[in-house]
Every structure is written in structure tokens, then in C-alpha cells.
Amino acid sequence: MQEKNDFIDFKDFPKNYDYKVVEEKISKYWEDNDIYKFSPEDKGKRVYSVDTPPPYVSSAHLHVGHVMSYSQAEFIIRYKRMKGFNVFYPMGFDDNGLPTERYVEKKYKINKSKITREEFIDLCLKETKIGIDIYKSLWRSVGISADYSLSYSTIDERCRKTAQKSFLDLYGKGLIERRNEPILWCPQCRTSLAQADVLLEEFAGVLYDIEFKSDEGKSLIISTTRPELLGGCVAVYANPADERYRFLEGKSVKTPLYDKNVPVKYDESVDMSYGSGLMMVCTWGDSEDVKKWKEHNLDTAIIIDRAGRLNELSGGYKGLNVKDAKKSIVENLRKMSLVKSEKPLNHNVGVHDRCSTPVEFILAEQWFVKILENKEKFIDAGNRMSWHPQFMKTRYDEWINNLKWDWNISRQRFYGVPFPVWYCSECGEAVVAHEAELPVDPAVSMPINAKCAKCGGSKFIPENDVMDTWMTSSLTPLINSLWSYEDAESKKIYNTIYPMGLRPQAQEIIRTWLFYTVVKSVYHTGDIPFKDVMISGWGLDRNGKKMSKSLGNFVSPEEITVKYSADALRYWASKANLGQDLRFSEEDVANGRRLTIKIWNAVRFLITNAESDFNPYEKNIKELKLSRIDEWILTEFENTLKSCGNYMESYEYSLCMRTLQDFFYNSYCDNYLEIIKNVFWDESEENSERKKTVLNIMYFISLNAVKMFAPFMPFITEELYLSFYKRYEKDKSIHISFWPEFRNDLVFNDSLKYSAILLNILDASRKLRTNLNLHQNHKVHKILIQALNQDYIEIINDISGDIRSAVRAERLIFSDKADFKTSDDNILIALEK
């Protein structure tokens, strides 16, 4: 399989690591050999299933932050694979719904009134396909180990079928219903929204004190930030305990400009100390208006239309949008001296998360999934999952506790999964599809043999709305496990995959993807959707701001992988622990590249010193004649392995990488290899056994360390494995080889007291050489050592060979002439050329 880096003889092993050639070659090797393929038939292995996040395919926004979060999940997934799990790791693409529509609208500058639904959907599908290809090529280039034969796209047949089955199931269980009530509405996107689609943004507004009049003509001041809604005012409220306004009981007041009489009502929720203690209720300015309108059966005076413009109720302001209307009304009120004061006020306004337009309320018939009545069940499900990091669970709990609306799943859009619903043209009764006919597009087909259950009518009109995109995305564990299919094969997969093992995802979609997925799983299966949740932080730019397309502060992954390699970019991703934001740092990526080069050279040192008859398994390590320093490095390695394993088990991949890198650089390369390397400079016969021993240890440690680097740096580790280690190993990829087993028999606790002294002497000798301007490898005739402690003399005698090797001295002599201090007060050294 080798091309450029092929080598026959060990001495020809390439000096430089050519990542550009290797990464492409290795990607192809993985594909050609199905390295990451899930095998449903493998009975011997436990299954580890991953509920992969389907990113939006409007993919022009891809940046290194995306690579970061996918890589972080991947570190764990690759680790699990090496721990022997049968990994189910699909790739998903979310391409239905509003984000794609908005992307297409912008890209093609579409005017929705001049394009048919079909033409528009075609464009969405076309962009979807382009997006998927871009994603795939990026994931491939950074080494994401998904099994692409398990891919799904949220607009494909399986997803449409699953989403519609979910609807039918919930409908059948009475958990879904159609209601006519005020709903959250985006005037920009012209669609209704769910609470989760609305974010709060702080606006610098103005609080206007406006004069109303009582029946007797008494002046009443009402504070409001939304005077443009005056025409929709249906009541004025005071707190029942507020003596100032008791006299208004049973009376009405007159609104300014419109001179409309509205009733005065009382409610505990009115804050007496806010403004004048009077508040106006309009239909509808905010959720408080909706609440009072419902509880007190107030009149309805809808003043804003679906485009966010004022209607005829506003009188002369008809056709103006909210912003202009406010300006104009305030101007007129000022002229009439009805604005008594104006105070700047920062307040939070709900905006649509996709377009940042302030949301309004309108009245419409919509489908709702009931969620308010089962909050406790969802909290309980959250408690049954493991959260990494744990504190992210707080956000989940808080979101549920603060829910105020059932989940509105109707969207007045084109591109999405249709409702499997028609309405009787006679009486309006809803008729739902049969499960057997899913997926169904009610605009294209009619209900099978259906008669209206209410009036017996046989003519139907289709539901034109599409379902909220989260209605589909929330089903990913059920989509992946083929829940909507009844055949035996699918049922088997379902039982194998569900509930899933891991859900990796970003923090900002806890309230949507995560929460809705729990809702669906609890409702459909009574179970949790997955056992472990890992929530990644954000990729930040160099200045600490969240990377995003709209801010233009994003770094393109291609640019970085071309310059530094994919392994190096992944190394950067490993720098942040789970849930932490990570600044992009080109220096860290460069460090990643340095690490790959270090690994390459350390392994190359072994390869070029091994003879062609080298056999690492000729003897078990325990049978070798180990020196104290060999025992020490084995001990250090085993301790590192143990820590790293524990870190990976607890999702602390960052600490694993740090620990491993520290071991590899400091213990293995800078000390062990430096101490033993001169054994290869000496051709004498008496050295040959020592050489073999050292080669075996180097093989053992470097292979296992390379395996441990493999989840983080899949390309270089695979290249080293295939081009060298595989001559002695059986697996066809390092990524399906076993993560090293901890071996207690290779922990030599005694060795630490020897190594401490040796390293202390080596350290001092390095300082001394620096002081003497002496090259570190330059041989010296003698090392003089003064040990002020009898135990030390014995120890030093015991390891004198290792010491001489380490400090490149021909002889070791105890002498009180040694005067250079080491960090141990009981040892002094000197070097003699």
C-alpha cells in the first residue's frame, strides 16, 4: 500500500513525515478496508452507539470550532473502539427546516411570492446535496471515524417516515392536539415558533408615561414600552391592594388617541411600585398580556398582522411596521401633550434565534405537543443520564422548570416534513394518515378509504404547514435505531442500538435538540434516549469571541490542515477539556505539528537501529535483563497508561493528552532515549544483548504510546503502525487494535529511588555542560561523584553503568573533589574531560 513513504530496509525509513501525502493515503486506506464499519452481527463485542449531531447543511459557515467539537467527541469514540466496543457511529445531516430555507432564500435572493413551492423545494434539495458533500469532505480530511454507510439526512424517506410516525403515535396517545390560541410569531420568517426558538436580547428602549383618562376625566398615567399597541388595548390593570386605584373598580378608562373605553381589572401580579402602578394589556404585546387575556377572558383586539404591520384597528397607522408606527404614534402623543415622561430603559425582548427579529403574538390554529404536564418526567429522565460535564445539566433543568408554552410544532414554511394530516372540507375535522402509508405528503395524496369520522364527508384538504425541524431532529436515536420499521431485522437493530450510548452536542442546543429528544423518547419508548451526554464548548477566535459566519471572525479548517496537518488541528481541539470554550491558537496547532514530528522521529530512532531480524516478541519483557533505568521507564509508562485510561473513562481527554505528551517528551524522549542512545554508538560484541533489551523496551513503549496517541492523531499513528509495527502486529489498523492493558508486573516501585538519583545527576551534568559550554553528547573521560550518604553510594554503584551512559562518561569515580551542587544536597558532581 505504500507509495512515497514506502521503505524496504529499516535504514531507508523516511527522515521527514510528509503529512500531505500520508493523510490522503490513510483516509483512502480506511475507506477501502471498512475500518470504521459497524458490524451488527458481531456478537462478541458490546455495542457503543453514538447519536451524532446532524449539523445544518448550509455549510458555508463551517469553521475550526465545528472541527473542535466533532474531534472532542471523536477522541472518546475512538478510545471506545480501541477498548473493544462495536462502535455504531453514523453521520447525520440536518437539511430540513428553516435554516436551509433561509440559506436558499439569501443565496438565490428569492421572493417567495414569485416562486412555486415545488421550485423552492428543488433549490433546497440541490443546496442540501452540495452541503452534504462539503461536510463529508471536511470530516474525511480531519479524520472523523464515522461509518458513512449509516448516514441519514433529516429530509430523507426514513426520517420523514419516522417523524410522521412520531406524530401519529403522539396523536394516538393524546399528547398532540390542535389548538387555536395566541402563538409566538416571527414577522420576518412569517412562521410561528416554539419557546425554544426564541432568545432574549437586550434592547435599549424607552419607557413612555402616557396619559389615559378615567370616566370622570381624571388623568391616569400608564407606563409602557410599546405605545404602538394602544389601538389593541383591551384592559387596564392595577394591583387589588393598591388604594390609589380602588375607585376605578367596575369602571372603565379611556385610551388616548383612540378614545376607546376599556375595563379596569385587578391582579396580584401588577407591581404597585413600577411606574404609576397601572398597566395596560393589549392583544398581545408579551406573554403577560396573553396570560391575562386567557385568565380574565378579555376582549380580543388584534392590531398586528402576520407581516408585523399595524392593521385597520390602528386607524391612521395602518401598514406601518412596528418600529415606524411607534415613532409616529409617540410623535402624535407628544403633540397632544399626552406623553408625560420618557425614560431610557434596557429591557429584554424575545427574538427569533434564526433572524434576530423581535417576535410578536398572533392568533392561529396550530399543532402542539403537550409538554407542560410532564415536566417532572423530563427532569427525571435527565437525572437518569450521565452528564459530562455535570454542570451542564443545570441548564437542562432550568429550561424545563421555566417552560411556559407547550411545544408548537406547526411552521408556515415550505421545506420540511409535512404533517400526515388532512381536514374534512365539510366540517374541518382532522384526519390523520395510516402508519402503513408513511411517509406521506398530504398535498399529493389523499387519505386511504377515509371518511370523516364526524360528518361522514369524503372530501379533504391537506394540511399545508410543515413540522418544526426539531420534530425530526429530536428523533435521531429512533431514526438511527430504525424504530419506525416493523420487520424483524429492524427490530433487532433497535434492540441493539437503543437507548444509545453517547450523545455529543453543543451547549446552545440543550433546550432544543437535547430536551426535545428526551421528550420524544420518554413519550414513545418510556426510556431515556442515551446514557451519556457530552457537551462541548465553543471555538473562540483569537480575541475570545465566539466564532461565527455572521461576525466574519472564523478560521477555515482547510487553511489550517493544509498548513499544519489534520492531526495538528485535532491536537488543538484536545487542549480544552469538555464544556470549556477554546480560543483558536495557531501556536497550539503548530505545537501539534511539532508533536507529530517528535513522535515520528522517536519511532524512527527505533526503526533505524533495529536490524532486519529484529523480533520484539522473541522474549517477554520480564525475561529481559532489565537495568534500573529500563525498570524506571516501564514504571513511568504503566503509571501514565493508568492515568490516561482513567481520564478517558471520565471524558477528560484533555488531561489524558497532556499526561501522555508529558510522558512522551520528558520521560521517554528527553530522558530515557537520551540515557540509552549511546548503546548504539558502540559496536562491541558485549553490547549486543543490551541493544536487544533496549530495542524491545523501545518497541513496547513506543507502540503503546502511539496507540494512546491514536484517538487524537489518527493519521500519523496509523502511518507508523502500517509501515512499521504491523510487521509484528496482527490488526489491519491501529484504530481497531486494543488500547494497551495495564500491566502491574511492569511497575517496579524500587526503580524510582534509583531513577531519582540518576536523573538528579543527569540534570546536574546538563547544567554543568551548559556552564562549560560543552556539547551534551560530547564524551567526557570521568564523572566525579561525591555522595554524602552511604545508601547513595550503594545505589550509585548499582546503576553506575546507566549513569555513565547518561552523562557520556567513560569512568565513574567517587571523589570529594566533586563540587557542583545537584538538587539533592547529598550529591555533588564534577566532569573531567
Partner RNA sequence: GGGCGGAUAGCUCAGCCGGUUAGAGCAUCGGCUUUACAAGCCGGGGGUCGCAGGUUCGAACCCUGCUCCGCCUACCA
Residues 767-786 that bind RNA (CB under 7 A): 767, 769-770, 773, 775-779
* 203 touches 332 (CB < 8 A): no
Cβ of 271: how many Cβ atoms within 10 Å?
Answer: 11
Q: Does the footprint of RNA cover residue 598 (CB under 7 A)?
A: yes
CB of residue 127 to RNA, shortest distance in Å: 27
Burial class (CB in 10 A: 0-12, 13-18, 19+), 214: middle
Interacting span for RNA (CB under 7 A) from 57-65, 122-130, 266-274, 794-802? 266-274
The CA-based dihedral angle spanning residues 498, 149, 88, 21, taken in that order and rounded to the nearest 10 degrees? -160
Q: Provide CB contacts within 8 A for 20, sequence distance 6+.
A: 562, 565
Residue 602, interface with RNA (CB under 7 A)? yes
Residue with cell 529499516: 10
CB 86 → RNA: shortest distance, Å? 32
> Least distance to RNA from the beta carbon of 22, Å?
13
CA distance linking residue 611 with residue 297, whole number of Å:
91
232 binds RNA (CB under 7 A): no
- Give CA angle at 244 (242, 247), nearest 5°: 100
**Residue 574 or 627 having the CB closest to RNA:** 574
Mask 680-719, x = binds RNA (CB under 7 A)? xx--------------------------------------
Residues 6+ apart with CB under 8 A from 601: none
Three-class DSSP category at 350:
strand
Euclidean distance between CA atoms 595 and 589, whole angstroms: 10
Q: Provide the 10 A C-beta neighbour count for residue 227.
A: 22
Q: Report the distance separating Cα 323 and Cα 228, nearest Å.
A: 8
In sequence order, which residues have a C-beta less than 8 Å from that of residue 500 and are 6 or more positions away? 49, 50, 51, 88, 477, 480, 481, 529, 530, 531
Instruction: Name the residue nearer to RNA (CB basis): 681 or 814.
Output: 681
The region of 81-89, 146-154, 174-182, 263-271 touching RNA under the rule CB under 7 A is 263-271
Closest CA to 671 of 812, 773, 776: 776
Which one, 239 or 786, has the nearer CB to RNA? 239
Positions in 278-307 near RNA (CB under 7 A): 278-280, 285-288
Q: How far is the CB of 362 from RNA (least distance, A)?
A: 17
**By the 8 A CB rule, do 57 and 102 touch?**
no
In terms of CB distance, is 26 or 87 closer to RNA? 26
CB of 109 to RNA, least distance (A): 30
Q: Which of 601, 639, 643, 687 binds RNA (CB under 7 A)?
A: 601
Nearer to RNA, 52 or 596 (CB): 596
Nearer to RNA, 139 or 653 (CB): 653
| Helices 586-609, 714-723: inter-axial angle, 10-degree rounding | 10
- Pick one of 213, 254, 594, 753: the residue that binds RNA (CB under 7 A): 594
CB of 260 to RNA, least distance (A): 17
Nearer to RNA by C-beta: 33 or 777? 777
The grid coordinates listed for 376 are: 417532572
Binding flag, residue 669, RNA (CB under 7 A): yes
Cα distances from 168 to residues 157, 194, 488, in angstroms, run 16, 20, 22
Please report whether residue 395 would count as binding RNA according to CB under 7 A. yes
Instruction: Please state the closest distance from residue 731 (CB atom) to RNA, in A.
Output: 25
Beta strands per DSSP E along 78-149: 86-88, 92-93
The least CB distance from residue 789 to RNA, in Å, is: 15
Instruction: Pick between residue 377 and residue 658 the one whose CB is nearest to RNA.
Output: 658
- By rule CB under 7 A, what count of residues binds RNA? 82
Cell (9 digits) for 725: 509495527
Phi, psi angles (nearest 5°) of residue 121: -60, -35
**Contact between 84 and RNA (CB under 7 A)?**
no
Single out the residue of 43, 109, 114, 404 in contact with RNA (rule: CB under 7 A).
404
592, 572 Cβ separation under 8 angstroms: yes
User: Which of the residues 451 through 510 are near RNA (CB under 7 A)?
Assistant: 507-508
- Grid cell, residue 375, equals 415536566
Give helix 19-32 / helix 566-573 axis angle, nearest 10°: 80
Interface with RNA, residue 650, by CB under 7 A: no
One residue of 54, 97, 231, 277 binding RNA per CB under 7 A: 277
* Cβ contact 53:92 at 8 Å: yes
Distance separating alpha carbons of residues 163 and 157, to the nearest angstrom: 10
Q: Show contacts with RNA in window 181-200 (CB under 7 A).
A: 199-200
Q: Determine the interface stretch with RNA among 106-114, 456-464, 527-535, 597-605 (rule: CB under 7 A).
A: 597-605
* Residue number, 322 or 433, with CB nearest to RNA: 322
Residues 208-227 binding RNA (CB under 7 A) are 223-226
**Closest Cα partner for 824 from 778, 777, 791?**
791
Is residue 21 close enough to count as binding RNA by CB under 7 A? no
Does 760 participate in binding RNA (rule CB under 7 A)? no
Among left, alpha and beta (phi > 0; psi -120 to 50; other), residue 230 is alpha
- Choose which of 597, 736, 793, 813 interacts with RNA (CB under 7 A): 597
Task: Give me 209's grid cell.
Answer: 408615561
Q: Which is nearer to RNA, 447 or 592 (CB)?
A: 592
Nearest-angstrom CA–CA distance, 613 and 683: 17
In the complex, the smallest distance separating the C-beta of residue 192 from RNA, rounded to whole angstroms, is 18
Given candidates 1, 2, 16, 448, which one binds RNA under the rule CB under 7 A? 16
Residues 338-377 that bind RNA (CB under 7 A): 345, 347-348
Q: Give dist(CA 532, CA 610) in Å, integer.
A: 45
**Footprint on residues 503-562 left by RNA (CB under 7 A):** 507-508, 511, 544, 546
Residue whose CB is less far from RNA, 7 or 274: 274
Subset of residues 608 to 647 that bind RNA, contact rule: CB under 7 A: 608
> Interior CA angle at 238 toward 237 and 240, to 5°?
125
Q: What track of x and - describes contact with RNA for positions 713 through 752 (by CB under 7 A)? A: ----------------------------------------
CB-side neighbour CA atoms (13 Å) of 195: 19
Q: How far is the CB of 237 from RNA (least distance, A)?
A: 8
Region from 378-386, 391-399, 702-710, 812-820 binding RNA, contact rule CB under 7 A? 391-399
- Tell me which of 181, 435, 674, 731 binds RNA, using CB under 7 A: 674
